[in-house]
Amino acid sequence: MPTRVKICGITRIEDARDAIDAGASALGFVFYPRSPRAIEVDAARAIIEKLPPFVTTTALFVDPDVALVKRVIETTGIDLLQFHGNEEPAFCASFGRPWIKALRMKPGMDLRAECGRFSASRAILLDAYRPGVPGGTGETFDWELIPADIAPKIILAGGLLPENVAGAIAAVHPYAVDVSGGVEAGKGIKDPERIKGFMAAVQCSDDSQGS
């Protein structure tokens, strides 16, 4: 099965098109005001309205108000919710949309237990841990901490780049990988050549494992 790719932190229609043209399966929109990649709800709607079919749109939240999540759903028609804070499973599941839960690989975390706690999620996204930063650190973590039997439900994030994503896939065999800063020219501005390089590296890794 080919490794899916989600490109997160989309703020411009041209970046969305570049990601789709390169073969990305999903796009992420950040609804967390403190993020340098945050986007207003109406701006996200304007981009999503122009997307072709069969591209999954994802809304990223960090401990959001219920009203914000509902507004994003109603305004944008977003496909998937992604929670990066301290949300409880019942909260994540309360909006009538498929959802994924991001876990930061904090030292000592019981990954199996956390995956079990969020078993109703469509997937678990694993990101690097930095105190006080809910994601987008640009840092990797020890991929060997991910048990092989959990990997098929994992979306791997955290410091992925065109230069290291092939090694990450070979080490973890995740369902998908998630990239934001690793394909940027600047905060919230994607670099089409880095997007192409990232996608080519994913394809190369998949081809080598399938041979």
**47 burial type by CB count under 10 A (0-12 exposed, 13-18 middle, 19+ buried):** buried
Strands (E), 151-203: 154-156, 176-179, 184-186, 189-190
| Pairing mode, strands 189-190 and 184-186 | antiparallel
Q: How far apart are CA 86 and CA 13, in angstroms?
A: 31
Spatial CA neighbour of 106 closest among 124, 81, 133, 87: 133
- 92 has catalytic annotation: no
- Structure tokens of 128? 């690097």
H or E stretch covering 6 = strand 4-7
- 142 has catalytic annotation: no
What b/e string do you get for 108-134 counting C-beta neighbours within 10 Å, with b at 16 or more? eeebeeebeebeebebbbbbbbeeeeb
Q: How far apart are CA 142 and CA 108, in angstroms?
A: 13
**Residue of 15, 18, 115, 127 marked catalytic:** 127
- Structure tokens of 109? 């975390």
**Residue of 8, 15, 18, 178 marked catalytic:** 8
What are the residue numbers of the active site?
8, 127
